[in-house]
Structure 1
């Protein structure tokens, strides 16, 4: 049975819950923040598989960007400057001298308008926001629509759409931290991840991409046949160590597989598959997660979750041969990411 519920939070936001017969997805109209995804394990136990703050007041500042819509540009823009048609724009500097995740007034901390809908095969909420010309330094009035849809087949779709009245840059993603063990019972060390990618972006000491690694074969970045995340945590690879012993890298999809990412936790039996028309994603394994913030059941710490930030890379602004993030006035930005949930071993 498909059902949508709505609850007032802290007298200023709404939390929506999309319910299907076997799972549910909850999120706020503030930042489009996903607070819960309840999915069954192989024994049928429903547990939360994303990180959330125990005290919802933490979403006001959201230092971990938990579950949020990220924009206008997801990722880091070096020196917080962009150039469009020979005009240079200075953006918010919110990570040293660089610009991160849309700046101080990013999409993660704005209040979105909403509209609910329901059909035979799915239910959802459409979130809308108009980002004014000059917000965080970006040019153009940008109208953004993000739709969250849960289907009867346990697919959770995030659809992005945007237009601008002035040439600008845009690349959106969602910043949920997944932990398929359920209710944070363990770290993500034993999560087995498969990624349709043979190329990554190489990072400098400020975590700014500066080069394309054309072949990740025989390295801890080759996930094409599946790999445990902990292999990168203990790796001597300079790129793994640079980001705090783990991953915070952009993977370019090879477009060889329908499922761009497959994540499995053998103990719980949960498996998550990701399909998308985005050209790649950042995988971040919480290597530098701020510690001591109270989450679902315990305090935040390293390796407690893993993000799969499907998007185009802002590095296209200074690196050739990457898909562009420029949005023209006669274009409509349209992207989709689909998360599907199942279990490896059905309950007997």
Structure 2
């Protein structure tokens, strides 16, 4: 096994290939309404390509998913200066976040699932974050046609920890070069508006009567081509954090996406308080398994909210010694013919 390698697993009618570079999901094959298998994620053909990739295709994101304003934060009374890799802000952990790390990757299985286990040791002050952070992530393909992702982490010093997976999905499996005709529903009454640098203002606003009201199915095209300044002026598409409802259970249904050409459906359930809906607005001539451009895929990144360390009323991303960071997200696949 070389320095850069991948593992392929199958279960529950799904097939997945994962590489040790960034823990990236390279391929995810699911059946359409005619039982034909197709790869529904964007990515590269070889593991080493993920070292140079600009779009975070399929990768694990940390130590902090999304943006931290001015690349500064306070943890345990300590002022942190992080890596400013997105203008004045820090994005997805800095210049070499978890997406560029080499993870320990092995195949594993359990009752009702097969998958992979990934481990990474993030050293004290890596990217400006204090504490030796040990991270363990499971990607499980369940008997019920689900990709179940579980994240766990522990630190020996007060630090920040907010992890996600940055897979881009195109449920047509290449039949369409974009996701404009995907139907999307997001179960959120509120969102967090941002400034011109995509940093939250601190407000929590209703989606009602805005282009962000996705509580009923709407095509991506209807949002991005609907002349909505909320969508097009600063973003060129969707790139918004949606506030998920609190639930008495550990998991909430965050979103559902339907693609009419293939009949594929994907439901996202999570323990996280937010989900970033991103429509690949900044993807441009990215050469991977295909040549990807704007709107080639969408992301539903379950997360703590952006810039939470600088917004005391946002969900905390602080992790203290003796605590265990725990998060879970499930992508549930099915197919049906359009009604």
Fold equivalence (TM over 0.5): yes
Report which stretch shifted further, 131-140 or 307-316.
307-316
Q: Write the distance in 1 (CA, Å) between the matches of 2:282 and 2:91.
A: 15
TM-score, L = length of structure 2: 0.94
Within 5 A, what are the aligned runs for 1:44-193?
A: 44-54=35-45, 56-183=47-174, 185-193=176-184
Give the alignment's Cα RMSD to 1 decimal: 1.7
Match of 2:185 in 1: 194
Instruction: Report the counterpart of residue 339 of structure 1 in structure 2.
Output: 331
User: Is contact 1:115-1:127 (8 Å) kept?
Assistant: yes
Asked if the contact 1:283/1:308 (under 8 Å) is kept, the reply is yes
Q: 1:264 to 1:69 in 2, by over 3 A?
A: same
Does 2:271 match 1:277?
yes
Aligned to 1:296: 289
Q: Secondary structure at the match of 2:287?
A: coil
Structure 1's unaligned 5+ residue stretches are 1-7
Residue of structure 2 equivalent to 1:14 = 5
Q: Output the TM-score relative to the length of structure 1.
A: 0.92
Partners of 2:179 and 2:110 in 1: CA distance: 35
Question: Residue 316 of structure 1 corresponds to which residue in structure 2?
Answer: 308
Cα separation, 2, equivalents of 1:140 and 1:149? 28
CA deviations 1:290-341 (Å, max 9, x no partner) are: x2222223x1210000001001013222224321111111210010001111
- Matched residue SS, 1:177: coil
Q: 1:20 deviation in Å?
A: 1.8
| 1:211 matched to 2:205 | no
Contact 1:184 1:296 in 2 (8 A): no
> Cα deviations across residues 93-127 of structure 1 (Å, max 9, x unaligned)?
11112111011221101111133222341112111
Q: Structure 2: where are the runs of 5+ without partners?
A: none
Corresponding residue SS for 2:202: strand
1:264 to 242, 258, 263: 258
* Residue 22 of structure 1, CA deviation: 2.0
For the structure 1 residues 242 and 169, does the alpha-carbon distance in structure 2 shift closer, same or farther, using more than 3 Å as the test? farther
